[in-house]
């Protein structure tokens, strides 16, 4: 697989008012992102509410997304689990329906050691490494943090092609860029620090903000990956209020409100996520206006 660069949207999963997955709405979002310049679509990750979809729904979201994209852009299928066997099964399904790569998160809740993390990802690579694997380090969600040495060990494993580094730690990102193989992709998973990571030599951004500002995020990533700090920061300054306010409550709660406000999908989420507290409406709406998404 050719290295994916640019804006990778961490796509929100649309639900109907009754809580069922809105598959026609998902197809519309895929088409809209392609039209707006999104470089890759990531499905059923954190922002896609993967913890609250069933295995059957998880697989169907991947299948529908792949079918709708129809190779116009790559699909990065979220296949992570805190059971190695389950992660492998999801990856096998994603491979079978034609996903372009898989996103594999550090196992959560059971807190594996660094060796446990290494063996987890190595086993996935041995079973499904022909579907390129992007690691996902997000200790704020998983508690377990994948250390630099572990990432570098895994970068030597066949089939593991990159990492989504969502710590916002630019020093760590610089060490990764310095020490990892040149063909190992390093993506930001943190919108506020994404420009810095890409200007240091990173390859793209797996973005929450791209759900509502895909064109701007694509243009930001193109500029940053090319080393055009002035242009990248001009766009980033406009998006910073969005980056901040989309996390005024747990992601994707504010995002779902913003998407509903813009007419992109409904606000429905599944418990234990609940609609955004009304006290945050003015500040999220103000961020939408500052970014030019509302007039």
Is 206 annotated for ligand binding? yes
Q: How many C-beta neighbours within 10 Å does residue 285 have?
A: 16
Catalytic residue among 122, 136, 187, 256: 136
Residue pLDDT, tens place only, 223-242: 999 999 999 999 999 999 99
Give the separation between CA 150 and CA 114, rounded to whole angstroms: 6
Residue 1: is its pLDDT beyond 80?
no
Q: Is 46 within any annotated ligand binding site? A: no
| Spatial distance between the Cα atoms of 231 and 111, rounded to a whole number of angstroms | 41
The pLDDT score that the predictor gives to residue 160 is 98
The residue from 92, 109, 111, 164 that is catalytic is 164
pLDDT of residue 56 exceeding 90, the answer is: yes
Q: What is the mean pLDDT of the chain?
A: 98
pLDDT, tens digit, 9 for 90 and up, residues 66-124: 999 999 999 999 999 999 999 999 999 999 999 999 999 999 999 999 999 999 999 99
Instruction: List, in order of start, the domains of the chain with CATH numbers.
Output: 6-232 (3.20.20.70)
Q: What is the pLDDT of residue 277?
A: 98
What is the average pLDDT across 266-291? Answer: 98
Q: How far apart are the first and last CA of the chain?
A: 41
Place of tokens 């399904």: 93
Examine the residue annotation and report whether 164 is marked as an active-site residue of this protein: yes
CA distance 217 to 38: 8
Note the pLDDT of residue 2.
86
Dihedral (C-alpha) 135, 138, 142, 144: value to the nearest 10 degrees?
80
C-alpha 203 chain-centroid distance: 14
DSSP letter (8 states) at residue 265: S
| pLDDT at 194 exceeding the cut of 90 | yes
Strand positions, DSSP E, the chain? 6-10, 40-43, 75-78, 101-105, 133-137, 160-165, 185-188, 204-207
Per-residue confidence (pLDDT) for residue 220, from 0 to 100:
99
Q: What share of the chain has pLDDT > 70, as a percent?
A: 100
């Amino acid at each position: 697989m050719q290295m994916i660069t640019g804006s990778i949207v961490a796509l929100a999963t649309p639900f109907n008012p009754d809580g069922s997955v809105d598959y026609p709405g998902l197809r519309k979002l895929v088409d809209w992102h392609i039209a707006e310049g999104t470089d890759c679509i990531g499905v059923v990750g954190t922002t896609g509410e993967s913890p609250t979809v069933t295995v059957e729904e998880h697989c169907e979201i991947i299948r529908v997304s792949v079918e709708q994209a129809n190779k116009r852009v790559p699909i990065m299928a979220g296949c992570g689990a805190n059971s190695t066997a389950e992660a492998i099964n999801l990856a096998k399904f994603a491979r079978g329906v034609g996903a372009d790569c898989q996103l594999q998160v550090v196992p959560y809740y059971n807190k594996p050691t660094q060796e446990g993390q290494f063996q987890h990802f190595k086993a996935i690579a041995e079973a499904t490494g022909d579907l390129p694997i992007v690691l996902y380090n997000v200790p704020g969600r998983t508690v377990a943090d994948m250390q630099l040495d572990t990432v570098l060990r895994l970068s030597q494993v066949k089939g593991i092609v990159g990492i989504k580094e969502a710590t916002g730690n630019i020093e760590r990102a610089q060490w990764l860029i310095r020490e990892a193989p040149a063909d190992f992709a390093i993506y930001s998973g943190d919108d506020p620090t994404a420009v810095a990571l890409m200007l240091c030599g990173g390859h793209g951004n797996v973005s929450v903000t791209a759900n509502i500002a895909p064109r701007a995020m694509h243009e930001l990533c193109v500029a940053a990956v090319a080393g055009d700090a002035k242009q990248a920061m001009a766009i980033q300054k406009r998006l910073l209020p969005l980056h901040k306010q989309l996390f005024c409550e747990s992601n994707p709660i504010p995002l779902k409100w913003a998407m509903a406000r813009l007419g992109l999908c409904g606000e429905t989420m599944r418990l234990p996520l609940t609609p955004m507290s009304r006290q945050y409406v003015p500040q999220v709406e103000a961020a939408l206006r500052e970014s030019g998404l509302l007039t």
